Each structure stands twice: as structure tokens, then as C-alpha cells.
């Protein structure tokens, strides 16, 4: 798609986000399964449920705009998921692997936060009030997920990893 208008850039961004979220629908169950800490497993599983809603919000935006949701694969998320899988496949101590999983999950959340922040701002500028609200809801969930992971790391997982 030509990047010749803010609207086209907005469409590019939300197609990228939809691709990223759909990749996460497949990756998060693997990450939850790989987690040893019950709290970490639960946090990832609850974010998987939120991710299903996030996909629906993006699809709703495309529907309201009458635009196709189809776009290229988000290569950044493919890379983040691939790196997470490499860590999952490593031999090692359960507790250290949990700390590594949190680092991978936080990378994912930060990528999403950047994407949703940009898309939300473009939607506001373009007068797409409803789209901006839906994107803000998801942005808030991504931030909360990141904070949850951070507090789990600080309260439990990193100490366990240190032994």
C-alpha cells in the first residue's frame, strides 16, 4: 500500500497490529505451557483471553471503515515469537526459563504498546473517534499486561531465578 496519506498509514498500522495479534493467539498458549510458575502461567493465559478481544476490536474497526483487514505479516512479531520459542526450546532451570519468558513477553507488550499508541493517535487526528476509543482500550490492556509481568518478575520470578 502507498504511504501517501495519514489514512493509508493508519490502515497499514492496524493491519500490522492484526497480524501481530493473530500470531500471538498461536504463541501465547505455547508460552503459558512453557511457564513453570503458576502465577506466570495464569498471567499469560489471561492475556490470551484479552488478545481474543483485541483481535475482535481491530476487526470491528475494519468493518466500520469498510476496509479489508488483509495485509502483510508483521515481521517484528514473527521475530519476537521466534526468539521466545528459541528460549523455550533451551535446556535449563525452570526458574531461569521463567525469567526469560517474562523478558520475551515484555518485549511483545512493548512492541504492541508502540503500535497501538501510533494507531490511536492517527485515529484521533483523522476524526475516527470510535476507532480511537477501541485502540485506547487495547493499549490500556497491553500496558496493564506489561505492568503485571513487571510486578511478577520483581515479586517472584527473578528471585527464584537467582536461586
Does residue 146 touch Zn ion according to CB under 5 A?
no
Binding span for Fe ion by CB under 5 A among 68-76, 118-126, 127-135, 153-161 = 68-76
Q: Which does 76 bind (CB under 5 to 8 A by kind): Fe ion, Zn ion, none?
A: Fe ion
Contact 109, 142 (CB under 8 A): yes
Binding span for Zn ion by CB under 5 A among 3-11, 80-88, 94-102, 139-147 = 139-147
Kindly list the distances between the CA atom of residue 94 and the CA atoms of 25, 54, 155, in Å, as whole numbers in the listed order: 24, 30, 17
Does residue 74 touch Fe ion according to CB under 5 A?
yes
All residues at 6 or more sequence positions from 110 whose CB lies less than 8 Å from its CB, including other chains: 146
All residues at 6 or more sequence positions from 124 whose CB lies less than 8 Å from its CB, including other chains: 132
All residues at 6 or more sequence positions from 86 whose CB lies less than 8 Å from its CB, including other chains: none
Identity of the residue, 46 or 155, whose beta carbon is nearer to Fe ion in the bound complex: 46
Minimum separation from the CB atom of position 163 to Fe ion (A):
26
- Residue from 19, 32, 142, 152 in contact with Zn ion (CB under 5 A): 142
Task: State how far the Cα of 88 lies from the Cα of 49, in Å rounded to an integer.
Answer: 21
Binding span for Fe ion by CB under 5 A among 5-13, 18-26, 27-35, 146-154 = 18-26
Q: Which does 74 bind (CB under 5 to 8 A by kind): Zn ion, Fe ion, none?
A: Fe ion
Amino acid at each position: 500500500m502507498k504511504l501517501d496519506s495519514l489514512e493509508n498509514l493508519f490502515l497499514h498500522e492496524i493491519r500490522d497490529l492484526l497480524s501481530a495479534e493473530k500470531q500471538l493467539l498461536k504463541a501465547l498458549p505455547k508460552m503459558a505451557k512453557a511457564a513453570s510458575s503458576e502465577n506466570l502461567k495464569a498471567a499469560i493465559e489471561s492475556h490470551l483471553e484479552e488478545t481474543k478481544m483485541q483481535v475482535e476490536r481491530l476487526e470491528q474497526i475494519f468493518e466500520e471503515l469498510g476496509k479489508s483487514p488483509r495485509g502483510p505479516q508483521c515481521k517484528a512479531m514473527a521475530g519476537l515469537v521466534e526468539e521466545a520459542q528459541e528460549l523455550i526450546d533451551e535446556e535449563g532451570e525452570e526458574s531461569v526459563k521463567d525469567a526469560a519468558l517474562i523478558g520475551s513477553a515484555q518485549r511483545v507488550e512493548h512492541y504492541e504498546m508502540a503500535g497501538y499508541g501510533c494507531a490511536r493517535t492517527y485515529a484521533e487526528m483523522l476524526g475516527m473517534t470510535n476507532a480511537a476509543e477501541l485502540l485506547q482500550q487495547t493499549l490500556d490492556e497491553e500496558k496493564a499486561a506489561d505492568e503485571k509481568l513487571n510486578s511478577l518478575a520483581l515479586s517472584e520470578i527473578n528471585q527464584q531465578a537467582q536461586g
